[in-house]
Structure 1
Amino acid sequence: MKTARELGLIPQGRLEPGSGNTITDVPGISVGHCSLRRDGIFTGVTAILPHDGDLFRVKPRAAVEVINGFGKSAGLMQVAELGTIETPILLTNTFGVAACSEALIRRAIAANPAIGRKTSTVNALVCECNDGSINDIQALAVTPADAEAALEAASTGPVEQGAVGAGSGMTAFGFKAGIGTASRRLFVDDRSFIFGTLVLANFGGAGDLVLPDGRRPDPRVPASPERGSVIVVMATDLPLGDRQLQRVARRGGAGLARLGAFWGHGSGDVVLCFTTADPVEHDPAKAFATQERLADDHIDTVFRAAAETTQEAVLNALCIAPTTPGRNGRIYPCLADWLKENPTP
């Protein structure tokens, strides 16, 4: 399947994509999937690792923006309070949060036996969307072993997109959706950086989608209330302060709005943004830490990257995920097929 850019949906912008146009263009970041496929089960886990070291000991700085809080994620409260990430980030379905949390906790304890005894407990970070329109979510199919499989599969190479991992059973705007990703190159003075975004897209009412060229695809399915969700994970190697990270995360809402989203009452829309620059040590050697920070006069470019990558990542999820039947017999079409049937005039 082709990406939104390959299908001509993404206009030439002010910012160029990274070499792979994925979140793994950010140095050190890896992504892995575990997809579950059996009778009635169409779900999975997606893992994002900010670096390949011990995240509990070397914590990336982060911020979270809850656009609409109809969600059941784990670990966001501590990220908002302390501004750091100390486990990999796992994405899954709503009822898979507990299993994924257990996997992260056990993994952290194995690497750091002092957790919960001689040092602090660990903040497992798991985000979710409800894939019950396609997957039998009551089966509680996701296990800690599946989460571990996604973690073990993580790679810094190309990211598989569409109906894979946590995105297996997700839908958006009446179409099949799932995992999507995109990146942008940033230049500040004589230095270059990468900004990447990965989304778990499961939101938007049928008929509300707006393409970059202004067209409004009709999936030919009945309209329904906006009760979906979207998880947006942003990453960069650009040094940003805690306040700046949250400001950047907030601009993910701009990318969602460009697509026609309005964040309905029953929608869980969460943006997590982190930087790999100047991480925080669990046991600092000194009482004071020096951290580099971008001057605010240069932050508009980062805001633009956040909006652009969020929009493109969602469109990639929609274009790459194939047509899939739901549990109630409803068919969720592929956006790429709609584009073939409705070429640009």
Structure 2
Amino acid sequence: MQKCLAILLALSAMTGEAQRARDLGVPFDGAAGPLDAITDVRGIEVGHTTLISGNGPLKVGEGPVRTGVTVLFPRGKSNSDPVYAGWFSQNGNGEMTGTTWVEESGFLEGPVAITNTHSVGVVRDAIIAWSLKHPMFHQDWSLPVVAETWDGWLNDINGFHVKPEHVFSALDGAQGGAVPEGAVGGGTGMICYGFKGGIGTASRVLKKDDGAYTVGVLVQCNCGRRPQLTIAGVPVGKEITEGIPYSMFKDDEAGAQQGDRGSIIIVVATDAPLIPTQLKRLARRATMGLARTGSTSGNGSGDIFLAFSTANPHANDEPGPNTVQTVANERISPLFNATVEATEEAIVNAMVGAKTMTGIDSHTVPGLPHDKLQEVLKKYGR
């Protein structure tokens, strides 16, 4: 029987063990918000449904199961007002539904969801079904935004274990406040740089002179090879070489570098008043935060980014015309900086928060060892 694990953060907090990169002393640039999470952008709510059950040999349709779904409401469950948005595909070996309409209209309507590669369809349909029961979000037609990364090394991905009720649970349970990280929700079965990956988040607050705006980032990271991993400028992946789960996460015997393995989805949110063309520019900057951690977005990688702004409420009201504010392009660079910094930290937070996991056929992926990470950073004066 599938066991739906809700939020794991509370259990971790009870142990007193540090769960975030800053708790381990990892140095990052920029000033984080109070929660250091995407929910520092007022109104945003995040929900997870985590599915973990079974052990041993893979039996398609039965398990083991290591998967789930993560959802995000830009203005919360009680506000369906669309937000200005833009998206960017750094490498398109992946999926994010609904983006052609985001590109065409400039708006994101409804929640965003992230899951595993083979559950995109059921999650998309479930969001529509949920919306039909919530008149505020109901439309005669809708094109939900659902993104994915592949969890088939740990999870019975062809067993289609994510069901509509799991999506409903994540949607109904979405809330503000601290965001659980690591092996939760859509990130449950993910691998990042040969360590356990998953969901991570971070935020930045700009200086008063730059508008005091907030930028928040949420990632589902499932990308990279171990030798690539860089944290705070330190080649951590070359220093911690134990426990690489399988050959595709390391260089070959001759030392030749392979392309990236896996994918990453990055969602960038801000309360700065930006229009769609500016938000597309913001989404592009997530690439630079990803690059800081070592990724080169290889041919097999699906690196797709979405950015939205919670400013300019009612910008899509009928009949219009509607008044819209925007940051001048000459003043947008601090928002770019914040996006890069928060993206880098969110990826590291995902790995720090994830614990060692064993899945199908006893495949085991190690969690990033906190003590060794601290030792390596100290070795390099960080």
Q: TM-score, normalised by structure 2?
A: 0.84
Residues 298 and 283 (structure 1 numbering): CA distance in 2 closer, same or farther, change over 3 Å?
Answer: closer
Q: Distance in 2 between matches of 1:43 and 1:53?
A: 24
The yes-or-no answer on 1:181 pairing with 2:201 is yes
The yes-or-no answer on 1:321 pairing with 2:354 is yes
Return 5+ residue gaps in structure 2 as ranges: 1-17, 55-63, 249-258
For residue 305 of structure 2, what is the amino acid of its counterpart?
Answer: V
Q: Distance in 2 between matches of 1:89 and 1:41?
A: 23
SS of the aligned residue for 1:107 comes to: helix
Q: Distance in 2 between matches of 1:223 and 1:259?
A: 20
Q: Say which of 66, 91, 97 aligns to 1:42.
A: 66
Q: 1:184, 1:196 within 8 Å by CA — same for their partners in 2?
A: yes
Corresponding residue number in structure 2 for 1:138:
158
For residue 109 of structure 2, what is the amino acid of its counterpart?
Answer: E
Q: Distance in 2 between matches of 1:179 and 1:53?
A: 21
Q: 2:285, 2:336 within 8 Å by CA — same for their partners in 1?
A: yes
The yes-or-no answer on 1:9 pairing with 2:29 is no
1:64-79 mapped onto 2 (5 Å cutoff):
64-79=87-102
The yes-or-no answer on 1:284 pairing with 2:299 is no
For residue 249 of structure 1, what is the amino acid of its counterpart?
Answer: A
Q: 1:162, 1:179 within 8 Å by CA — same for their partners in 2?
A: yes
Identical aligned residues as a percent: 37
For residue 70 of structure 1, what is the amino acid of its counterpart?
Answer: N
Q: CA deviation at 1:223?
A: 3.9
The yes-or-no answer on 1:30 pairing with 2:37 is no
Q: Distance in 1 between matches of 2:172 and 2:319?
A: 31
Q: 1:89, 1:125 within 8 Å by CA — same for their partners in 2?
A: yes
1:76-95 mapped onto 2 (5 Å cutoff):
76-95=99-118
Q: 1:204, 1:226 within 8 Å by CA — same for their partners in 2?
A: yes
Q: CA deviation at 1:140?
A: 0.3
Q: Distance in 2 between matches of 1:219 and 1:203?
A: 17
Cα deviation code 1:299-329 (max 9, x no counterpart)? 1100111110110000000111001124344
Q: CA deviation at 1:342?
A: 4.6
1:107-126 mapped onto 2 (5 Å cutoff):
107-112=130-135, 115-116=139-140, 121-126=141-146
The yes-or-no answer on 1:271 pairing with 2:271 is no
Corresponding residue number in structure 1 for 2:227:
207
For residue 365 of structure 2, what is the amino acid of its counterpart?
Answer: Y
Q: Whose strand proportion is higher, 1 or 2?
A: 1
SS of the aligned residue for 2:346 comes to: helix
The yes-or-no answer on 1:147 pairing with 2:167 is yes
Q: CA deviation at 1:213?
A: 3.8
Q: 1:9, 1:213 within 8 Å by CA — same for their partners in 2?
A: no
Q: CA deviation at 1:198?
A: 0.3
Q: Whose helix proportion is higher, 1 or 2?
A: 2
Could you list the structure 1 runs, at least 4 aligned residues long, displaced by more than 6 angstroms after superposition. none
Cα deviation code 1:173-195 (max 9, x no counterpart)? 00001000000002354842211
Corresponding residue number in structure 2 for 1:252:
286
CA-based RMSD = 1.9
Q: Distance in 1 between matches of 2:220 and 2:21?
A: 16
Q: Say which of 21, 34, 38 aligns to 1:19.
A: 34
For residue 284 of structure 1, what is the amino acid of its counterpart?
Answer: E
Corresponding residue number in structure 2 for 1:129:
149
Q: Say which of 274, 295, 299 aligns to 2:328.
A: 295
Corresponding residue number in structure 1 for 2:176:
156
1:184-195 mapped onto 2 (5 Å cutoff):
184-187=204-207, 189=209, 191-195=211-215
Q: Distance in 1 between matches of 2:285 and 2:377?
A: 31
Q: 2:228, 2:235 within 8 Å by CA — same for their partners in 1?
A: no
Return 5+ residue gaps in structure 1 as ranges: none
Q: CA deviation at 1:340?
A: 5.4
Q: Say which of 323, 326, 345 aligns to 1:312.
A: 345
The yes-or-no answer on 1:61 pairing with 2:81 is no
Q: 2:315, 2:324 within 8 Å by CA — same for their partners in 1?
A: no
The yes-or-no answer on 1:229 pairing with 2:263 is yes
Q: Distance in 2 between matches of 1:240 and 1:149?
A: 32
